[in-house]
Structure 1
Amino acid sequence: MAKLLEALLELPHVRIKDPDYMLSVFEEIIEGNSEKLQVISDFDQTLTKDHENGERCLTTFGIFHSTPQLPKGYNARSEALYHKYHPFEVHPELTVEQKTPYMEQWYKDSEQLLFGAEVSKEELKGHIYSSKTCFRDGSVEIFNALKKAEVPVLVFSAGVGDVVHHALEKHEMLLDNVRIISNFLNWNDQGTLEGFQGDMIHVFNKNQRALAAHEEYFSLLAHRPNVILLGDNEGDAAMGHGVQDPKAMIKIGFLFHHPEQRLEKFMDMFDIVLIDDQTMDVPKKILHHILGAHHFD
């Protein structure tokens, strides 16, 4: 594992704040192998890319917003909300506590736009299947390897759960070891939308939702105290809060927006920070050592 750590540190886009600590965590997880491992990952801009060939990739909300059956004017109003609130999400100087009220209001305003929209489940699924989803290079390969090794995967998304579900399904990544916690759409008996099911998940309340999922999901995995966590936002670092008695956890953060200003915060919250990396190369290298190369054949 020392050679792996040295190799990672030599990569120009990789930052590791405490290499000695990271080495000890590597060794702990290797010793526990796949039988004690679970994976927790964000979806948008974590399993998927932020950009490809010079263009921004659509998020789950972006794919949903492009659904042709949505009411006239919906896209413009949704786009206005994005430009109003997204700058607060990635603002390099605001704390999570300062950002949270803006995220809560963004989700409330977005939900209001959905009420009464006549989009059927079948129409939405067809649109998602016909839309391009820019998964990171290596995401499909990693999911297949985790399935072979029987490692549980939790996809914990603040996006649109229906889009997450069908995008994974489309790419044959919705395997029986994969569970999704996200914002799923709510249809009434007439088939029109009434917002989302239950309390909204946003990028900065994943710690609370992780704890809420404790009895439902994490208690079933009490025998898997080792975790690899993947995210692209400060709030994603808290996705593992529901893990029972965690023993060793590697938090990997993908950083794109304002990297110079946000790097220090990211390095405080994630063990490994990857700057503008649109691949799964680093997680794949780590999983090679944990699962064994034969799971990637």
Structure 2
Amino acid sequence: MVHHVPWIYTPVRTVLAIWNQLTKTEIPELAKSSVLMRERSRVEDTIHAMQRAGAGSLQVISDFDMTLTRFAHNGRRVPTTHNILDNRLLIDEDCAKKMRELLNTYYPIEIDSSRTAEEKLPFMVEWWTEVHELLIQQGIRKDMLAQAVQESSAMLRDGYKLFFDRLTEQQVPLLIFSAGVGDVLEEVMRQHRVFYPNVHIISNYMDFDQTGVLRAFKGQLIHTFNKRDGALSHAAGLRALQGRPNVLLLGDSLGDLTMADGVSEHQNILTIGFLNDQVEERKESYVDSFDIVLVRDETMDVANAVLRCITSSRRNK
């Protein structure tokens, strides 16, 4: 004779495990073939810890170029904020040629998986400094930036509107850390109609004279591998980020992982890395470093799904 043990005699630990599984919100987007994870269970546990804390405890920190913007479209590279300045309205052919030469010299170094961030650092400083000097020499006019953006093929990732709308609806601050050009970045967001009040930008901003001509760049140079310094010096001063210990971080470079270093007393950090090119060479280092890696995924689908889950807790209703 078989005696069925009533569920009330099941060990408490087992009941809790079953309850946790029943109450977890599934994220089917994490099963996409483009998604790589080193520890799926840790990813899910982090997401649900952030969900329990609610949208009021969340902040999002993101890179811009090739993270919020697409990497490529129809087989062609989508321009970064620096690339958008390659427009005859703003610079001449000689300047454009020199900027392309710098890109061909330094970008392979930026993505070289055999070099450490420390080894890449001086090269990135050289690259950004030389580009900025070239742009200053061109005497770029501020009133021409909007037209240059409009004429460019700049594109945010598919699903971007849902991402920005969800953040502003839930009053979640978005801190964008960009090694690009802040003035161009802002214009891209304005033209896509997502430059909302909850968005805070830390980037390289142009300094125009009284006639609206570029004369210098403001403040500290921000490049791919010194975002930690920017995070520590800027993030602490933003009141909107205070009391939000949970962080969703998005980036396309290993250097982006330091963007959350300015968050004091953080509780949970979930990192999503966009692996756009040189996949086989960089896959291992990305999977070791980011919680979620998206391989050649030009959408915000996974980020939107994670965000939807985090901000759908009962605390938010």
Query: Normalising by structure 1, what TM-score?
Result: 0.93
Cα distance per residue 1:186-205 (max 9 Å; x no partner): 22345432231111100110
Corresponding residue for residue 92 of structure 1 = 113
Deviation of 1:133 (Å)? 1.6
Q: Is the CA contact (8 Å cut-off) linking 2:235 and 2:241 kept in structure 1?
A: no
Work out whether 1:276 is the aligned partner of 2:299: no
* Shift, 1:281, TM fit: 0.6
Bigger radius of gyration, 1 or 2?
2
Identity %: 35
Superimposed CA distance per residue, residues 188-242 of structure 1 (whole angstroms, 9 cap, x where no aligned partner): 345432231111100110011100113322x542211111110000111111110
What code does the residue aligned with 1:49 have? R
- What letter corresponds to residue 284 of structure 1 in structure 2? N
Alignment of 1:71-90 (within 5 A): 71-90=92-111
Instruction: Please report how far the alpha carbon of residue 165 of structure 1 lies from its aligned counterpart in structure 2 after TM superposition.
Output: 0.3
How far did 1:96 drift? 1.0
Partner of 1:65: 86
1:119-198 superposed matches below 5 A: 119-198=140-219
Letter in 2 for 1:125: A
| 1:73 shift after superposition | 1.1
Contact 2:106 2:123 (C-alpha < 8 Å) held by counterparts: yes
The change in CA–CA distance for 1:50 and 1:251 in structure 2 (over 3 A counts) is same
What letter matches 1:62 in structure 2? N
Match of 1:31 in 2: 52
**C-alpha distance 25-67 of structure 1, shift in aligned 2 (>3 A):** farther
- Structural mapping, 1:214-229, within 5 Å: 214-217=235-238, 220-229=240-249
Kindly tell me: are residues 87 and 13 of structure 1, through their superposed partners in 2, closer, same or farther at Cα, counting changes over 3 Å? same
How far apart are the structure 1 equivalents of 2:93 and 2:75? 29
Separation in 2, partners of 1:214, 1:155 = 11
* Shift in Å, 1:283: 0.7
Q: Partner letter of residue 275 of structure 1?
A: V
How far did 1:21 drift? Answer: 1.8
Alpha carbons 2:63, 2:256 under 8 Å: kept: yes
- Counterparts of 1:191-210 in structure 2 under 5 Å? 191-210=212-231
- In structure 1, what residue type is equivalent to 2:273? G
Distance across 1 between alignment mates of 2:160 and 2:30? 22
Aligned to 2:258: 238
Structure 1, unmatched stretches of 5+, are: none
Residues 12-67 of structure 1 show CA distances to partners (whole Å, capped at 9, x for unaligned) of 11111112221221121001111111111111011111111111111111101225
Structure-2 residue corresponding to 1:115: 136
State how many pairs are aligned: 292
TM-score of the superposed pair, with normalisation by structure 2: 0.87
State the match for 2:127 in structure 1: 106
Moved more, 34-43 or 113-122: 113-122
CA separation of 1:211 and 1:52: change in aligned 2, threshold 3 A: same
Residue 140 of structure 1: how far off its partner (Å): 1.5
Q: CA shift at 1:100, angstroms?
A: 1.2
Distance 1:222 1:55, change over 3 A: same
Distance change >3 Å, CA 4–CA 203, structure 1 → 2: farther
Shift of 1:72: 4.4
* Cα distance change, pair 46–118 in 1 and its aligned pair in 2 (3 A): same
Distance 2:243 2:82 in 1: 35
Q: Shift of the alpha carbon at 1:118?
A: 2.7
Distance 1:225 1:162 in 2: 29
Distance in 1 of aligned mates of 2:180 and 2:57: 29
Q: Superposition RMSD on alpha carbons, in Å?
A: 1.8
Other structure's SS at 1:213 match: helix
- Give the drift of 1:127: 1.6
Report if aligned partners of 1:41, 1:154 keep a CA contact under 8 Å in 2. Answer: yes
2:17 match: none
